[in-house]
Amino acid sequence: MTEPAITDPYRVKPGDTLSSIARRCGKTVRELQRWNGLRDPNKLAVGQTLYLSESSAFGVTALFLDALRHPIENLPFMLKFDGRTVTGRTGANGMTARQVTQSAHSDVEVWVQTVEGTWQQVTRTLSGYGHKLLTLVSGSIVVPGNTEPLPQGAPAKPSAPAPAKPAPGVPQPPLPKPASGTPSKNNPAVKTRKTKGPQGQPVLKIEVDIPQGLAALFGNYQGGEITEAQWEQAAAYLQCEAAVLKAFAEVESGGHLSFWRLNHADGANIPAVLFERHYFSRLTGGKHDKTHPDISWPTGYRKKSRLGKSDKKMHDGRVDADDIYGDYASAYLRLINAYRLDAQAALKSCSWGKFQIMGNNFALCRADDVETFAASMCTSEFAQLRLLCGYIRNKPGTRIKALGIEMSLWGAVKAKNWQAIAFHYNGPDYKTYGYDSKLQAAYEKYRKKA
């Protein structure tokens, strides 16, 4: 009877032995031990993955993507490992050719050539067992362009226009129009066109298409800060002091940042968001983790202070630029990219507005669905406050072991129990970041102003 063909890698089945697998794939037991780090050839587990060649065991490939997750073609690179240096240029898929290291403990360095022609190391990692795909995401967008001479007397850099104010009766500036120009070969969502600056300088204008669903949400903006009467109205509904609610805003968004401009001068007003990739990973079943680890990964983003440090929970074993929290522009790029993969999961994976409420909590905020929740977040500060009121009243009570009490968020708000408030609102690790102390200090500040 002919044995069935064997694939590489191979998943161990009941009745398999290392010697029988070696015989079927034409390898030796010693080779399989080395390629899989097996000390005892007699110990195999059903379902265990075995690598049947040096290429599948110690292969390394680098994938280079731009800020919008599109492959960077024709990028000069160097891979350094085992005393060797491999140079080349990425293909249309943004990938290097697969290289094979000597062992799982081989140190691999990845270098790229900058626009100035210098070489820069972008990551360093161990080969590990199994084919390792290093996904490296740039903070930039790659587009072609040629320099042109400046008009005589014109400054090298056009002066930035002053931020525009909405006209009376028109609270929301125009939403972005579809991008126009020539699609970038590297990224079809990015279009470029030549224009002139205010002093006649040649300018290469870069525009990025925003998904229509997001643009429609931004169109709900009505504007307006929360008035004192509205603060008191919300406080009466929750049977608490207005200063408690103001403390939420102070700690979560600095007390004032609820909306910002999509573009510096003429962009639409959009709510402040913070994208959380571990939410997106969980909500999508991890199916985008391998291809989009910068926006989908079981472990959340790290603080900027961790940049460049080793971290086994990161997809390549260290904290890179795509593993840290960025500014609001970075958060929106992440939201846009995630929205294209799964719109609902992307909206649920953001904390929104003045009070930074997670979209996944839309039902607690008395919204019918996450789109309704996001539309309200895009409307006004008062709409965001109303969502906060729903969240506070509807979040279930629980036993807080560290405090020895059972209390709901609403009960904690009425009692001004800052530890219980922080537990419900910021999670059980609230002490790590001192959220309870920050909330109390903010409350005291606003109480004195009352």
* pLDDT tens for each residue of 87-133: 999 988 889 999 999 999 999 999 999 877 899 998 888 899 998 88
Q: Is residue 270 pLDDT above 50, yes or no? A: yes
Same domain, 111 and 194: no
Q: Is residue 2 pLDDT above 80, yes or no? A: no
Q: What is the pTM of this model?
A: 0.72
Same domain, 194 and 87: no
Same domain, 202 and 62: no
3-state class (DSSP) for residue 257: coil
Q: What is the pLDDT of residues 398-438, one digit of tens each?
A: 888 878 888 899 999 999 999 999 999 988 888 888 999 99
Is residue 357 very low, low, confident or very high in pLDDT (cuts 50, 70, 90)? very high
CATH code of the domain containing 45: 3.10.350.10
Residue 155 tokens, joined: 């400054």
Same domain, 72 and 184: no
| Helix H or strand E encompassing 341 | helix 328-341
DSSP 395: S
Is residue 147 very low, low, confident or very high in pLDDT (cuts 50, 70, 90)? low
Q: What is the pLDDT of residues 21-35, one digit of tens each?
A: 999 999 999 999 999
Answer whether residue 80 is part of any domain: yes
Please tell me the predicted confidence (pLDDT) of residue 167.
44
Is residue 362 very low, low, confident or very high in pLDDT (cuts 50, 70, 90)? very high
Can you tell me the mean pLDDT for 377-383?
93
Can you tell me the mean pLDDT for 48-67?
91
Q: Is residue 49 pLDDT above 50, yes or no? A: yes
User: Residue 88 to residues 60, 71, 73, 79, 109: CA-CA distances in angstroms?
Assistant: 15, 16, 11, 9, 14
**Is the bond leading into 41 cis (omega within 30 degrees of zero)?**
no
Q: What is the pLDDT of residues 75-89, one digit of tens each?
A: 999 999 999 999 999
Give how many domains the chain has, as a whole number.
4
Q: What is the pLDDT of residues 173-220, one digit of tens each?
A: 666 677 788 877 666 677 888 887 777 777 777 777 788 899 889 888
- Of 328, 227, 228, nearest to 269 by C-alpha is 328
Same domain, 203 and 237: no
Can you tell me the mean pLDDT for 143-166?
62
Answer whether residue 313 is part of any domain: no
Which position has the higher pLDDT, 311 or 373? Answer: 373
Please tell me the predicted confidence (pLDDT) of residue 206.
74
Q: What is the pLDDT of residues 293-332, one digit of tens each?
A: 889 999 999 988 888 888 889 887 888 878 888 877 788 8
3-state class (DSSP) for residue 280: helix
Same domain, 195 and 81: no
Which position has the higher pLDDT, 367 or 210? Answer: 367
Same domain, 408 and 391: yes
Same domain, 396 and 427: yes
Which position has the higher pLDDT, 224 or 161? Answer: 224
CATH code of the domain containing 64: 2.60.40
Beta strands in 242-306 (DSSP E): 259-261, 269-271, 273-275
DSSP 71: B
Q: Is residue 3 pLDDT above 80, yes or no? A: no
Q: How far is CA 361 from the centre of its chain?
A: 19
Please tell me the predicted confidence (pLDDT) of residue 444.
95
Sequence-separated contacts (24+) of 224-230 with Cβ below 8 Å: 224/171, 224/380, 224/381, 224/382, 225/381, 226/354, 226/381, 226/382, 226/385, 227/382, 230/382, 230/385
Answer whether residue 375 is part of any domain: yes
Sequence-separated contacts (24+) of 110-116 with Cβ below 8 Å: 110/62, 110/77, 110/78, 110/79, 110/134, 110/136, 111/77, 111/78, 111/79, 111/80, 112/64, 112/75, 112/76, 112/77, 112/78, 113/75, 113/76, 113/77
Same domain, 357 and 442: yes
Answer whether residue 222 is part of any domain: no
Please tell me the predicted confidence (pLDDT) of residue 24.
92
Q: Is residue 269 pLDDT above 50, yes or no? A: yes
Residue numbers of the domain that contains 24 = 10-52
Is residue 255 very low, low, confident or very high in pLDDT (cuts 50, 70, 90)? low
Same domain, 245 and 194: no
Q: Which of 74, 100, 127 is the last residue of a domain?
A: 127
| Helix H or strand E encompassing 385 | helix 381-394
Same domain, 189 and 120: no
Answer whether residue 281 is part of any domain: no
Answer whether residue 33 is part of any domain: yes
Residue 209 tokens, joined: 């298409």
Please tell me the predicted confidence (pLDDT) of residue 168.
42
Lowest-confidence pick of 89-98, 266-275, 348-357:
266-275
Please tell me the predicted confidence (pLDDT) of residue 169.
46
Q: Is residue 165 pLDDT above 70, yes or no? A: no
Q: Which of 101, 127, 153 is the last residue of a domain?
A: 127
Same domain, 254 and 193: no
Q: What mean pLDDT, rounded, does the chain reach?
A: 86
Answer whether residue 220 is part of any domain: no
Answer whether residue 280 is part of any domain: no
Q: How far apart are CA 111 and CA 114, in angstroms?
A: 10
Please tell me the predicted confidence (pLDDT) of residue 1.
46
